[in-house]
């Protein structure tokens, strides 16, 4: 489904691989591009605000071009700058019907605030975690979208154009990035009207993510014996319960299913 | 005018016309080839054609003795006949000796043709029908026509039946009519014969293989594979080009187009192809013929051999400037290939199927971004983490936490042997092999070190999946890394890495002395550095990895090691050069094209036939594929693991 | 408090006087010696066994004893009521209330709110904001001092813009010291960010630890931690704090300011029913997975249907053509995160075990008790899989019917 007079912009960022920490195509942003390509085809515009200092960042940025974009517009910001203002200025001029982006970035603060802040500044509606845009009605200025809920459930929503939507990981996986088009696509530098430094961030202390301790089952035991029991009881993990016989087994399984609340 | 006079007048004209048409056809064919891209022209190869034909080509043909003898008779007879016919009938050289020779050569050709015809009586499925079934008849007609044409001139006949062929035959009306009749039949036969053999040779008949094949042998893209040499590394491409890989037939190199024309449709590739046997939509013979269709334009309806399993013949067409994939050939066909080179090994015309397939895959991956199955995920992982499964690069050495390995750049700056770990580092099954190897190396007191966390995937998988860009990046990274250290030999348990390091890094400035662990250990055993118990009577068969055997010609070292352990190898029917692939190469497990059965299951069935209890392997990919077969099945063990079991610990150590 | 120990002669006297009506509770409570040290009464330990002999059970596992029966009664004690009549400040918590009830995440957020409300002996009140249906009865023990409840029909649906506007009104009125929301996919994450954008405040998202006036937030999609000063608006992760467990709270309904209705640009069309098999395997919460040991695939499919489980398969089952490739679970297929994973006839190859590493509960149905899957499973049923599945289906149907009957009444 490609709509001929629909203008869609996908906002893209540089992701970061969870294990190697190398720059890459961000998974959610790539899904936003994928969704945009399905909606607007070749007329999809991609916009990136950030630094392109290192070659590895350029390679990562080009991997979006490899999905079939002809060009990427770049707002070249130095690192601690606030991307929202620059984006908002640029988008005000563009006036797109739809802005697609990932739910949150893969590096930096990754607060997931970007779509909300842009919506506020541009006066657009905002919607989060969509997986699909099922229809767009330019006459009534409404679009029908599917929103991801936990465990694969979906909610159908109608939303007024223009709007900003963040695309969930449950959306269609992005198409493969092809090397040839990626290298031949254009990176278009745009003029920056504003560049505001993110001063708050410089006060933060950023560390490697600590492993969160698993919450223990707290036993508010009143007696020493209870506390002792709680401390020494076999921790979950050893081999589980084994049952024989089909009716016994079925009963036990049912019990577990009900306990876990999946039925 | 007598019938014989007519014959002697008409013969030069017929031959001249046939030759002229043949030359026109040849030019036309050459123009078709010239649609292809530039490639080095190895003129010196032309001189080597007879040798390559008689030695290299016949070496392959001779794997089928019947066909080899038949072909020697038919082809030898034909070449002689053709030369003599031109000498005798076109240039009118009237030497009696030539007539006798001509009789002999046609006779030889006739005998050969009879055997060709015999073979065609109940042709096996791998042979093409259609024009190829006509060919033996044409051969018979050609040879017999010229035999009978030459018979009177030779004077042999006149001694036997002087009254029929005497000079006063004109007075014999009955004889006259018979003579005219015979002349007409002869002329018809000669026209047929010349048409098939001369005209058809350059205009696309079955005899095209002789003309294109001779040129192809001379101008082959891999000159070094002749005369016992080997050339199996893929060709690199320039990543800055406007189009990467092959989209249309015209994107092939001109000598690749020529090679497609050399195909004789003998179907040996089809018989050898594991994907075809597994019912995946690939038939190497059909693929080459489709390339011929693409080069000349048209549909595949005339193809008279086995189809791609599951795909009907006649539903696809193409042309030189029409994209191949999904017009002429389905993408699944390209992705079914395991790059095992069994087809290339078997091809008597030395056609390079794997090169063509990888060229087309490159376009699919690099330009279209359509690597099927888990391909795109694997490639993304290789780009982001330097290993196909996306493990943290920093965890590459986790398996060896207890091994106390010397890491180049950290613990040492040089070592005799660089142990290349490869992707087995992340796989629990193959870590067992690595551990066994390390114990063996220590037992042999080899000074070795590893690259540690900095080692990257060799790039084999990326390259076979068509991602030349990632391969080149990985290769260059590895080469730059290795250039920092000193070592004399690289040893690896992975034949895929072995092949890349040995044959494919060369194009990027990486020249190394690389040994597969089987070869390296065989040398150590020969030197006495490793002593193996020879008292084990294991019931064992050995599976040749494609990238060790066919790609690098190493069949003996693993067998030597097994024999050194006192094992009598129960060879599978398909072993050594014709060993069946485990199905793990070329990214086939990644692209996972559905078929009727799985290749590893077929290979395991081969192993079961030998009644062996253990399948010895020498490749981490093979061990994974074969262990993936549902039990009960023979146990799968790497050579290194078997060696460790049989190792005699040197007591002087303690 | 003073460190000087003061004797309570009256209590001592009651403890000595066995006939005093207050004797029992006082004597059983902590008894202090003259110097103020706690004294143990050895006579009060243990219970009289069935044959009249006193028994002391130190394992804590005694059954039938009167002592335990007493302690069972004691667990039903009413928690002390924490009263905040004149709060110095407010802490606003907008609850997720999935299907009208507090979930663990909500309780943790309330726990954190109470911690912040009572920091340094402060007297803050936790104001819980509930939208839509509210079925929860235990708001008091979860730590709700005040409750604002929006319950008109409009709130039965997804109307984040309206909710955000309501929160804005509340914030304007109460000027809370902190606003806390669960950073969840159940609405809190969305609502909190909307509010932050409207208020022009920079929230701390992904907060998982509060240390004094510092918060630790997850950043870089979970790879980094940011430590920053405690902001007003916080979106907090699950287990950011212990839930309230020792106090009871007033949960007074707060007078509701007229919420002004705004023009919503989003219209809820309701959830669409999702076929369990249409749920991507990686997202599915309940997976029934089949392997080489399954002989009756029709039975397997029908079981999955009646359990409303998403179907999975082992590699062998896929290779044999019994299941499509995208159903393959494992390192070479899909890595699953199901809450319950039932492995039927799967012995458990290494790659498969890797793929189910993140599953919460694993149930194995297998004929081989020694296989790796049984070793991993939390519950293993040994026997013929089709029999067990058939039995299970009939039990589930019976269970559903009973439930249906309950609803009818």
Residue C161 maps to a domain: yes
Task: Give the count of domains, chain C.
Answer: 3
C85 plus C70 within the same structural domain: no
Residue C160 maps to a domain: yes
| A178 chain-B contacts, CB cut-off 8 A | 365-370
Chain A neighbours, 3+ Cβ pairs < 8 A:
B, C
Answer with the one of B219, B246, B278 that is the final residue of a domain: B219
Measure CB to CB from residue C316 to each of B389, B592, B630 and give the nearest one: B630
**DSSP assignment letter at C265:** S
The C-alpha of B102 sits at a distance from chain A's nearest C-alpha, in angstroms, of 59
First-residue to last-residue Cα distance in chain A: 37
Q: Does B477 touch chain A (CB under 8 A)?
A: no
Please answer yes or no on whether C350 and B429 come within 8 Å at the CB atom.
yes
Check whether B155 has a pLDDT greater than 70: no
Per-residue model confidence (pLDDT) at position B388 = 93
Q: Does C307 touch chain B (CB under 8 A)?
A: no
CA B148 to chain centre: 41
Per-chain mean pLDDT for chain B? 90
B89 plus B106 within the same structural domain: yes
Q: Does A211 touch chain C (CB under 8 A)?
A: no
Answer with the one of C253, C288, C313 that is the final residue of a domain: C253
Could you identify the residue written with the tokens 């990214």? B587
Please answer yes or no on whether B598 and C315 come within 8 Å at the CB atom.
no
Nearest residue on chain A to C237, alpha-carbon basis = A212
| B379 chain-A contacts, CB cut-off 8 A | 176
Please answer yes or no on whether A240 and C391 come within 8 Å at the CB atom.
no
The C-alpha of B365 sits at a distance from chain A's nearest C-alpha, in angstroms, of 6
| C348 chain-A contacts, CB cut-off 8 A | none
Residue B385 maps to a domain: yes
C234 plus C176 within the same structural domain: yes
Per-chain mean pLDDT for chain A? 87
Contact B384, A22 (CB under 8 A): yes
DSSP secondary structure string for all residues of C14-37: HHH-TTSTTHHHHHHS-EE-TTS-
Section B209-229 average pLDDT: 91
The C-alpha of C64 sits at a distance from chain A's nearest C-alpha, in angstroms, of 16
B353 plus B421 within the same structural domain: no
Please answer yes or no on whether C265 and A16 come within 8 Å at the CB atom.
no
Show which of residues 347-386 on chain B sit within 8 Å of chain A, judged by CB atoms: 365-371, 375-376, 379-380, 383-386
| B597 chain-C contacts, CB cut-off 8 A | none
Please answer yes or no on whether C315 and B628 come within 8 Å at the CB atom.
yes
B139 plus B268 within the same structural domain: no
For residue A71, what are its two tokens? 């060009």
Please answer yes or no on whether A154 and C284 come within 8 Å at the CB atom.
no
Backbone angles phi, psi at C382, to 5 degrees: -100, 120
Rounded Cα–Cα distance for residues B281 and B300 (Å): 15
The C-alpha of B377 sits at a distance from chain A's nearest C-alpha, in angstroms, of 8
Task: Give the count of domains, chain B.
Answer: 4
The C-alpha of B343 sits at a distance from chain C's nearest C-alpha, in angstroms, of 25
Please answer yes or no on whether B630 and C315 come within 8 Å at the CB atom.
no
Please answer yes or no on whether B389 and C325 come within 8 Å at the CB atom.
no
Section B439-460 average pLDDT: 94
Chain C neighbours, 3+ Cβ pairs < 8 A:
A, B
| A177 chain-B contacts, CB cut-off 8 A | 369, 380
C97 plus C168 within the same structural domain: yes
- A–C: how many Cβ contacts below 8 A? 244
Rounded Cα–Cα distance for residues B453 and B478 (Å): 12
Could you identify the residue written with the tokens 């010349």? B194
Angle between helix A27-40 and helix A55-65 axes, rounded to 10 deg: 30
Show which of residues 115-154 on chain C sit within 8 Å of chain A, judged by CB atoms: none
Q: Does C404 touch chain A (CB under 8 A)?
A: no
pLDDT digit string (tens) for B380-411?
A: 999 999 999 899 999 999 999 999 999 999 99
First-residue to last-residue Cα distance in chain C: 57
Show which of residues 258-297 on chain C sit within 8 Å of chain B, judged by CB atoms: 292
Sign of the torsion angle spanned by Cα atoms B348, B353, B355, B356: positive
For residue C230, what are its two tokens? 């405690």
Query: Greater confidence, B538 or C286?
Result: C286
Peptide bond into C147 cis (omega under 30): no
For residue C14, what are its two tokens? 């009651």
Q: Report chain B residues touching chain C, CB-CB < 8 A.
A: 389, 428-429, 589, 592, 594, 598, 601, 628, 630
B348 plus B489 within the same structural domain: no
Answer with the one of C74, C107, C128 that is the final residue of a domain: C74
Rounded Cα–Cα distance for residues C231 and C215 (Å): 8
Nearest residue on chain B to A63, alpha-carbon basis = B380
- For residue C236, give the CATH number of its domain: 3.40.50.620
Nearest residue on chain C to A201, alpha-carbon basis = C228
Pairing type for strands C204-211 and C214-219 reads antiparallel
B17 plus B147 within the same structural domain: yes
Rounded Cα–Cα distance for residues C343 and C311 (Å): 10
Using alpha carbons only, give the angle A85, A90, A92 rounded to the nearest 5 degrees: 95
| C229 chain-A contacts, CB cut-off 8 A | 203
Peptide bond into B632 cis (omega under 30): yes
Residue C269 maps to a domain: no
Q: Which CATH superfamily is domain A8-202 in?
A: HUPs (3.40.50.620)
Q: Which of B524, B382, B520, B536 is nearest to B463 (CA)?
A: B382
B190 plus B108 within the same structural domain: yes
The C-alpha of C393 sits at a distance from chain B's nearest C-alpha, in angstroms, of 29
C173 plus C314 within the same structural domain: no
DSSP secondary structure string for all residues of C379-407: EEEES-HHHHHHHHHHHHHHHHHHHHHHH
C297 plus C213 within the same structural domain: no
Per-residue model confidence (pLDDT) at position A232 = 64
| C332 chain-B contacts, CB cut-off 8 A | 589
Please answer yes or no on whether C379 and A241 come within 8 Å at the CB atom.
yes
- For residue B501, give the CATH number of its domain: 3.40.50
Answer with the one of C59, C74, C89 that is the final residue of a domain: C74
Chosen from A88, A111, A228 to mutate, greatest number of chain C CBs within 10 A? A111
Please answer yes or no on whether C206 and A111 come within 8 Å at the CB atom.
yes
Residue C3 maps to a domain: no
Check whether A10 has a pLDDT greater than 50: yes
Bridge partners of C236, per DSSP, are C182, C207
**Residue B416: how many CB atoms within 10 A of its CB?**
13
Measure CB to CB from residue A180 to each of B244, B384, B391 and give the nearest one: B244
- For residue C324, give the CATH number of its domain: 3.40.50.1220
Residue C271 maps to a domain: no
B257 plus B162 within the same structural domain: no
Bridge partners of A164, per DSSP, are A99, A126
| C392 chain-A contacts, CB cut-off 8 A | 249-250, 253-254
Q: Which of C93, C91, C115 is nearest to C243 (CA)?
A: C115
Check whether B493 has a pLDDT greater than 90: yes
Answer with the one of B322, B344, B367 that is the final residue of a domain: B367
Per-residue buried b or exposed e for C259-268, using 16+ beta carbons within 10 Å of the residue's own CB = beeeebbbeb
Please answer yes or no on whether B376 and A176 come within 8 Å at the CB atom.
yes
Check whether B170 has a pLDDT greater than 50: no
Measure CB to CB from residue C265 to each of A110, A160, A240 and give the nearest one: A160
Domain with C388 in it: 276-404
Residue C389 maps to a domain: yes
Backbone angles phi, psi at B285, to 5 degrees: -65, -45
Residue B227 maps to a domain: no
B541 plus B412 within the same structural domain: no
Domain ranges of chain A: 8-202, 224-260
B174 plus B240 within the same structural domain: no
C134 plus C179 within the same structural domain: yes
Per-residue model confidence (pLDDT) at position C236 = 95
Please answer yes or no on whether A241 and C378 come within 8 Å at the CB atom.
yes
Domain with B408 in it: 375-525
| B383 chain-A contacts, CB cut-off 8 A | 24
B54 plus B187 within the same structural domain: yes
Instruction: Give the residue ranges of DSSP H helices in chain A.
Output: 27-40, 55-65, 83-94, 114-122, 179-184, 199-202, 224-232, 246-260
Chosen from B592, B598, B631, B636 to mutate, greatest number of chain C CBs within 10 A? B592
C112 plus C195 within the same structural domain: yes
C19 plus C85 within the same structural domain: no
So what's the ipTM on this one?
A: 0.87
Residue C29 maps to a domain: yes
Bridge partners of A47, per DSSP, are A11, A73
Per-residue pLDDT of chain C in tens (409 residues, 90 and over written 9): 456 777 788 888 887 888 888 887 777 766 677 777 777 777 777 777 777 787 777 765 544 444 444 444 444 567 888 888 889 999 999 999 888 889 889 999 999 999 999 988 888 999 999 998 888 888 889 999 999 998 888 888 899 999 999 999 999 999 999 999 999 988 999 999 999 999 999 999 999 999 888 999 998 888 899 999 999 999 999 989 989 988 899 889 888 767 788 888 999 998 888 888 888 888 888 999 999 889 889 999 999 998 889 999 998 888 888 888 888 998 778 889 888 999 999 988 888 888 898 888 899 999 988 888 988 898 999 989 888 999 999 988 888 887 766 554 4
Please answer yes or no on whether C292 and B630 come within 8 Å at the CB atom.
yes
Please answer yes or no on whether C350 and B598 come within 8 Å at the CB atom.
no
Answer with the one of B335, B367, B399 that is the final residue of a domain: B367
B30 plus B143 within the same structural domain: yes
Instruction: Give me Rg for the CA atoms of chain B.
Output: 29
Please answer yes or no on whether A152 and C381 come within 8 Å at the CB atom.
no
Q: Which of C164, C144, C39 is nearest to C92 (CA)?
A: C144
Per-residue model confidence (pLDDT) at position B269 = 94
Measure CB to CB from residue A179 to each of B390, B394, B469 and give the nearest one: B469
B32 plus B156 within the same structural domain: yes
Rounded Cα–Cα distance for residues B420 and B494 (Å): 8
Residue C260 maps to a domain: no
Per-residue model confidence (pLDDT) at position B394 = 92
pLDDT band at B643 (very low <50, low <70, confident <90, very high): very high
Rounded Cα–Cα distance for residues C397 and C391 (Å): 10
């Amino acid at each position: 489904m490609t709509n001929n007079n629909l203008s869609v912009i996908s906002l893209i960022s540089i992701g970061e691989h969870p294990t190697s920490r190398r720059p890459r195509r961000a998974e959610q942003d790539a899904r936003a591009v994928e969704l945009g390509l399905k909606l607007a085809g070749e007329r999809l515009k991609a916009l990136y605000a950030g630094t392109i200092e290192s070659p590895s960042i350029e390679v990562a940025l080009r991997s979006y071009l490899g999905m079939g974009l002809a060009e990427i517009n770049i707002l070249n910001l130095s690192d601690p700058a606030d991307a929202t203002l620059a984006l908002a200025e640029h988008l005000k001029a563009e006036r797109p019907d739809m802005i697609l982006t990932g739910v949150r970035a893969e590096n930096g603060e990754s607060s997931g605030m970007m779509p909300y802040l842009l919506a506020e500044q541009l006066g657009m509606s905002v919607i989060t975690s969509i997986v699909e845009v099922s229809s767009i009605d330019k006459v009534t200025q409404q679009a029908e979208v599917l929103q991801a809920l936990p465990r694969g459930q979906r909610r159908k929503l109608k939303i007024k154009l223009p709007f900003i939507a963040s695309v969930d990981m449950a959306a269609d996986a992005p198409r493969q990035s092809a090397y040839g088009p990626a290298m031949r696509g254009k990176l278009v530098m745009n003029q920056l009207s504003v560049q505001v430094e993110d001063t708050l961030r410089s006060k933060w202390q950023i560390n490697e993510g600590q492993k969160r301790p698993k919450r223990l089952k707290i036993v508010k035991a009143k007696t020493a014996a209870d506390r002792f029991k709680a401390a020494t009881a076999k921790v979950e993990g050893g081999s589980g319960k084994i049952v024989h016989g089909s009716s016994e087994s079925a009963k036990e399984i049912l019990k577990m299913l009900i306990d876990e609340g999946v039925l | 005018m007598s019938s014989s006079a007519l014959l002697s007048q008409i013969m030069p004209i017929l031959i001249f016309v046939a030759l002229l048409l043949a030359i026109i056809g040849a030019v036309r064919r050459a123009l078709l080839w010239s649609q292809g891209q530039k490639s080095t022209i190895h003129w010196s190869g032309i001189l080597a054609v007879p040798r390559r034909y008689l030695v290299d080509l016949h070496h392959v043909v001779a794997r089928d003795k019947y066909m080899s003898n038949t072909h020697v008779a038919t082809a030898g007879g034909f070449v002689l006949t053709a030369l003599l016919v031109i000498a005798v009938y076109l240039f009118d050289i009237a030497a009696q000796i030539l007539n006798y020779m001509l009789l002999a050569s046609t006779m030889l050709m006739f005998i050969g043709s009879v055997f060709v015809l015999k073979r065609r009586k109940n042709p096996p499925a791998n042979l093409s029908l259609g024009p190829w079934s006509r060919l033996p008849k044409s051969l018979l007609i050609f040879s017999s026509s010229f035999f009978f044409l030459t018979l009177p001139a030779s004077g042999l006949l006149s001694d036997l039946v002087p009254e029929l062929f005497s000079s006063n035959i004109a007075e014999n009306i009955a004889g006259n009519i018979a003579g005219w009749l015979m002349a007409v039949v002869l002329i018809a036969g000669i026209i047929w014969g010349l048409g098939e053999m001369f005209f058809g040779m350059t205009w696309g008949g079955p005899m095209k293989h002789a003309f294109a094949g001779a040129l192809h042998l001379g101008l082959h893209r891999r000159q070094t594979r002749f005369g016992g040499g080997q050339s199996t590394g893929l060709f690199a491409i320039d990543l800055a080009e406007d189009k990467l890989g092959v989209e249309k037939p015209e994107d092939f190199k001109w000598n690749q187009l020529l090679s497609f024309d050399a195909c004789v449709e003998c179907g040996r590739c089809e018989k050898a192809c594991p994907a075809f046997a597994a019912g995946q939509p690939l038939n190497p013979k059909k693929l080459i013929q489709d390339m011929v269709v693409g080069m000349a334009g048209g549909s595949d309806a005339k193809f008279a051999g086995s189809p791609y399993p599951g795909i009907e013949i006649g539903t696809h067409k193409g042309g030189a400037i029409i994209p191949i994939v999904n017009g002429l050939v389905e993408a699944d066909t390209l992705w079914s290939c395991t790059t095992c080179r069994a087809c290339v090994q078997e091809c008597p015309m030395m056609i390079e199927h794997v090169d063509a397939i990888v060229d087309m895959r490159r376009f699919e991956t690099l330009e279209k971004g359509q690597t099927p199955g888990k391909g795109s995920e694997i490639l993304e992982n290789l780009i982001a983490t330097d290993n196909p499964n996306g493990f943290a690069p920093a965890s590459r050495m986790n398996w060896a936490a207890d091994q106390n390995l010397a890491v180049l750049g950290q613990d040492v700056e040089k070592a005799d042997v660089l142990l290349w770990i490869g992707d087995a580092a992340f796989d629990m099954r193959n870590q067992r092999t690595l551990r066994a190897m390390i114990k063996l190396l220590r037992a042999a007191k080899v000074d070795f070190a590893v690259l540690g966390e900095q080692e990257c995937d060799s790039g084999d998988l990326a390259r076979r999946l068509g991602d030349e860009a990632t391969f080149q990046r990985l290769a260059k990274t590895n080469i730059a890394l290795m250039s920092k250290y000193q070592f004399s030999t690289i040893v690896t348990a992975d034949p895929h890495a072995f092949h890349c390091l040995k044959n494919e890094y060369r194009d990027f400035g990486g020249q190394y002395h690389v040994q597969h662990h089987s070869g390296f250990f065989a040398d150590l055993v020969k030197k006495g550095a490793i002593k193996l118990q020879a008292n084990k009577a294991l019931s064992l068969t050995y599976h040749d990895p494609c990238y060790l055997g066919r790609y690098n010609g190493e069949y003996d070292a693993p067998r030597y090691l097994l024999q050194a352990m006192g094992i009598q190898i129960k060879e599978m029917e398909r072993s050594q050069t014709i060993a069946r692939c485990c199905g793990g190469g070329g990214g086939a497990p990644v692209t996972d094209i559905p078929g009727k059965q799985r290749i590893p299951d077929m290979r395991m069935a081969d192993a079961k036939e030998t009644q062996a209890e253990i399948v010895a392997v020498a490749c981490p990919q093979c061990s994974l594929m074969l262990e993936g077969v549902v039990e009960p099945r023979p146990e799968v063990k790497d050579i290194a693991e078997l060696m460790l079991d049989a190792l005699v610990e040197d007591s002087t150590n303690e | 408090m003073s460190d000087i120990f003061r004797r309570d002669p009256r209590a001592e006297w009651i403890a000595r006087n066995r006939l005093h009506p207050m004797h029992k509770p006082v004597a059983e409570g902590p008894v202090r010696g003259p110097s103020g040290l706690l004294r143990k009464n050895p006579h009060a330990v243990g219970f009289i066994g069935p044959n009249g002999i006193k028994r002391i059970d130190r394992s804590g596992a005694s059954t039938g004893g009167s002592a335990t029966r007493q302690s069972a009664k004691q667990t039903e004690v009413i928690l002390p009521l924490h009263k905040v009549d004149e709060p110095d400040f407010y802490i606003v918590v907008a609850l997720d209330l999935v299907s009208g009830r507090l979930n663990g995440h909500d309780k943790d957020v309330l726990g954190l709110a109470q911690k912040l409300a009572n920091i340094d002996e402060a007297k803050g009140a936790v104001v819980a904001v509930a939208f839509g249906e509210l079925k929860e009865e235990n708001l008091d023990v979860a730590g709700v001092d005040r409750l604002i409840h929006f319950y008109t029909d409009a709130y039965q649906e997804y109307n984040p813009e309206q909710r955000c506007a309501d929160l804005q009104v509340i914030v304007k009125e109460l000027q809370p010291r902190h606003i806390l929301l669960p950073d969840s996919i159940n609405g809190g994450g969305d609502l909190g960010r909307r509010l932050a954008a409207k208020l022009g405040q920079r929230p701390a998202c992904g907060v998982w630890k509060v240390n004094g006036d510092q918060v630790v937030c997850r950043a870089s999609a979970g790879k980094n931690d940011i430590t920053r000063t405690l902001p007003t608006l916080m979106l907090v992760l699950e287990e950011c704090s212990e839930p309230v467990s020792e106090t009871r709270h007033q949960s007074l309904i707060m007078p509701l300011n007229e919420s002004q209705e705004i023009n919503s640009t989003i219209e809820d069309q309701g959830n669409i029913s999702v076929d369990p098999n249409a749920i991507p395997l990686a997202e599915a919460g309940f997976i029934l997975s089949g392997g080489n040991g399954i002989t009756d695939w029709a039975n397997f499919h029908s079981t999955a249907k009646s359990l409303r489980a998403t179907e999975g398969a082992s590699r062998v089952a896929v290779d044999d053509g019994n299941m499509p490739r995208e159903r393959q679970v494992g390192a070479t297929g899909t890595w699953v995160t199901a809450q319950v994973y039932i492995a039927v006839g799967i012995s458990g190859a290494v790659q498969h075990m890797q793929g189910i590493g993140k599953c919460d509960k694993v149930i194995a149905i297998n004929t081989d008790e020694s296989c790796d899957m049984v070793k991993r499973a939390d519950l293993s049923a040994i026997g013929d899989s089709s029999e067990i599945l058939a039995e299970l289906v009939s039990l589930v149907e019976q269970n559903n019917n009973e439930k249906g009957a309950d609803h009818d009444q």
